[in-house]
Amino acid sequence: MNIKIISASIRLGRKSHRVALYFKNYLSENKIADAEIIDLAELNFPIFEERLRLMPNPEPAVLAFAEQIKAAEGIIIVTPEYNGGYPASLKNVIDLLYAEWKRKPIAICTVSEGMFAGSQVITSLQFTLWKIGALTVPAMFPVATVEKTFDEKGQPSDPELTNKRATSFINELVYWMDKR
């Protein structure tokens, strides 16, 4: 299965990337997918100026990103919550593409350092993805107090509980991937 994990935080010292690493490990250990992380910090795209389809000379990295999204059968977005919303880095790449997002099953994982697990991001991100025609799956994976619950390599502090939650989250994504 072709699942891509978008790690949305580009912040120095970011913590939500730990959860992206966790999903990569989880998917490979459970032989669900050899999932690749699309790390927006690595891509380091400039601030949006125009959609890819209207760019006169798109950078190869932008074309490669579009190809990755197009080819993905399903996507997990791991996003931090910044002031009640999702980061500019994520909006930057959503707006870049259009057809590539169409009917793409996407599962949203929100992350915060605090108690509320980034849950305020859900409605705004879902709305944007709905507007662009993606298929956000009805499952949540909110992560609270990320610094305590995942280490730098993505190992959860409570593997049993975390894997149980991941199973139902991923099952929902895979269900909608199979329907496509």
Ligand X SMILES: Cc1cc2nc3c(=O)[nH]c(=O)nc-3n(C[C@H](O)[C@H](O)[C@H](O)COP(=O)(O)O)c2cc1C
* Interacting residues with ligand X (CB under 6 A): 9, 11, 14-16, 80-84, 111-114, 116, 118, 146
CB of 85 to ligand X, least distance (A): 8
Cβ closest to ligand X, residue 45 vs residue 82: 82
CB of 10 to ligand X, least distance (A): 8
Q: Cα(77)–Cα(35) distance, rounded to whole angstroms?
A: 12
Cβ closest to ligand X, residue 17 vs residue 104: 17
From 16, 11, 24, select the one nearest 110 (Cα to Cα): 16
Q: Cα(133)–Cα(106) distance, rounded to whole angstroms?
A: 11
CB of 102 to ligand X, least distance (A): 28
Cβ closest to ligand X, residue 116 vs residue 127: 116
Cβ closest to ligand X, residue 30 vs residue 123: 123
Cβ closest to ligand X, residue 25 vs residue 119: 119
Cβ closest to ligand X, residue 116 vs residue 130: 116
- 3-state SS of the chain? CCEEEEECCCCCCCCCHHHHHHHHHHHHHCCCCCCEEEEHHHHCCCCCCCCHHHCCCCCHHHHHHHHHHHHCCEEEEEEECECCECCHHHHHHHHHCCHHHCCCEEEEEEECCCCCCCCCHHHHHHHHHHHCCCEEEEEECCECCHHHHECCCCCECCHHHHHHHHHHHHHHHHHHHHHC
CB of 48 to ligand X, least distance (A): 19
CB of 147 to ligand X, least distance (A): 7
CB of 141 to ligand X, least distance (A): 14
